[in-house]
Amino acid sequence: MSDYQHIRVEPISTALGAVIHGIDCRSDLPNSVVDEIRKAWLEHLVVFFQGQDLEPGEQLAFARRFGLPVKYPMLEGLSEFPEVVRVVKLSHEKNNFGGIWHSDTTYLEQPPIGALLLAREVPEVGGDTLFANMYLAYETLSTGLKNMLGRLIVVQSSAKAGASRSREDRLSDVSAVAEQVLEAEHPVVQTHPETGRKTLFVNYGHSIRFKNMTEAESKPLLDYLFAHQTRSEFTCRFQWAAGSMAMWDNRCTQHNPINDYHGFKRVMHRISIN
C-alpha cells in the first residue's frame, strides 16, 4: 500500500475500496491533501469519508477539487444547486434508483469520470452499496477473449429495461424532467487516462449490444461478461451511516445499491464530475 503523509487510508477489501480518515470535507483543504486523496482514489477506485455533515454547496465545493460538477441527465437537481441530485427512496416505494449493477450514464458520449454520493438519511437496516473493480474484470479474462473484446464497440442505452425501471419513481416526481432515450457507442476495452490500466467498459444497466451485431447475437457474450465482472472477489460492500460520503471512479468501477430496505426512507445527495 502507498504511504500517505496527510491522510490515513484504511482499505475495506483487497479488490477495491478504502475509508479515508482525518479529513473534514467542509474545510479549505491544501493542495497537498487533495493530491493525496486523489492518489488514494486512483489506487482504491472508491473512497469513503465518514461523519461529513455537508450542505449542498459544501459538497459541491469539495467535488470541484476533483473534477467539474455536471448535471445528471433526465433528473432535475436542487433549485439552488442543479448539479446536486436528491436520490430518494420513500417508505412506500418498491424501486430504488439505479438498483442494478451499472456504471453511471455510459449512454452519454462523455460519461462522468466519477461521482460523489452523500448519505443524508439512511434506513434502520439495509441499503448497503456494492462496488466492483473493472480492472480485475478485464485482467482475469483469457488472452483470446481480451483480443476479441479489444476490437469491439458496445452500444449503451438509457432505455435498457432494468435501468428504466429503477428510474420510474423518480420520473413520476414533480422534480423529474421528461424521459428521453440517450445512446452512445464506446470501446469495450478502455485504457484509464490516469493509471494506464485497461478496464472492461460494459455494464448490465446500459449495454445493449455490440456495434454491427444484433441484440440476440450480442446477448450470450454480454451475459457472460455481466456475470464475470461482478464476481464476489472483485467487489467490496459499504454500509452507510448518515454523513458517509463515497467518491468512486466511474471509469473503472461499477456499483449496485442493494434494494433491501422496503418500508424505510433513504435520502442521498449525488454529484457527477467530469
| 157 within a domain of the structure (yes/no) | yes
237: phi then psi, degrees, rounded to nearest 5? -130, 130
| 1 within a domain of the structure (yes/no) | no
Residue scoring higher pLDDT (166 or 154): 154
pLDDT band for 2, please (50, 70, 90 cuts).
low
Active-site residue (options: 104, 167, 206, 251): 104
Active-site residue (options: 167, 170, 186, 270): 270
| 221 within a domain of the structure (yes/no) | yes
What does the pLDDT read at residue 136? 98
pLDDT band for 224, please (50, 70, 90 cuts).
very high
| 132 within a domain of the structure (yes/no) | yes
85, amino acid identity: V
Active-site residue (options: 86, 209, 255, 269): 255
Q: What is the mean pLDDT of residues 148-155?
A: 98
Q: How many domains does the chain have?
A: 1
- % of the chain beyond a pLDDT of 90: 88
Closest CA to 205 of 69, 108, 270: 108
Query: Is 167 an active-site residue?
Result: no
| 2 within a domain of the structure (yes/no) | no
| 61 within a domain of the structure (yes/no) | yes
Domain encompassing residue 54? 8-273
What does the pLDDT read at residue 177? 47
What does the pLDDT read at residue 178? 47
All residues at 6 or more sequence positions from 139 whose CB lies less than 8 Å from its CB, including other chains? 198
CA distance 5 to 33: 8
Query: Is 192 an active-site residue?
Result: no
pLDDT band for 134, please (50, 70, 90 cuts).
very high
164, amino acid identity: S
Query: Is 6 an active-site residue?
Result: no
What does the pLDDT read at residue 98? 85
C-alpha cell read off for 111: 460519461
Q: Can you give the CATH number for the domain in which 97 is found?
A: 3.60.130.10
CA distance 145 to 60: 41
pLDDT in tens, 66-117: 999 999 998 899 999 999 999 999 999 988 888 999 999 999 999 999 999 9
Active-site residue (options: 86, 102, 170, 209): 102
What does the pLDDT read at residue 179? 63
Taking the CB of residue 214, how many other CB atoms lie within 10 A of it?
9
CA distance 158 to 103: 12
CA distance 204 to 5: 39
pLDDT in tens, 188-210: 999 999 999 999 999 999 999 99
| 82 within a domain of the structure (yes/no) | yes
28 pLDDT more than 70:
yes
60: phi then psi, degrees, rounded to nearest 5? -65, -45
Alpha helices in the chain (DSSP H): 31-44, 56-63, 134-139, 143-149, 161-166, 168-171, 215-229
Q: Do 119 and 238 contact (CB within 8 A), yes or no?
A: no
CA distance 50 to 32: 20
pLDDT band for 170, please (50, 70, 90 cuts).
very low
167 pLDDT more than 70:
no
CA distance 81 to 183: 26
All residues at 6 or more sequence positions from 150 whose CB lies less than 8 Å from its CB, including other chains? 188, 189
155, amino acid identity: V
Q: What is the mean pLDDT of residues 34-62?
A: 98
Query: Is 270 an active-site residue?
Result: yes
42 pLDDT more than 90:
yes
| 105 within a domain of the structure (yes/no) | yes
Mean pLDDT, rounded, of the chain? 93
Q: Do 83 and 70 contact (CB within 8 A), yes or no?
A: yes
Q: What is the mean pLDDT of residues 230-243?
A: 98
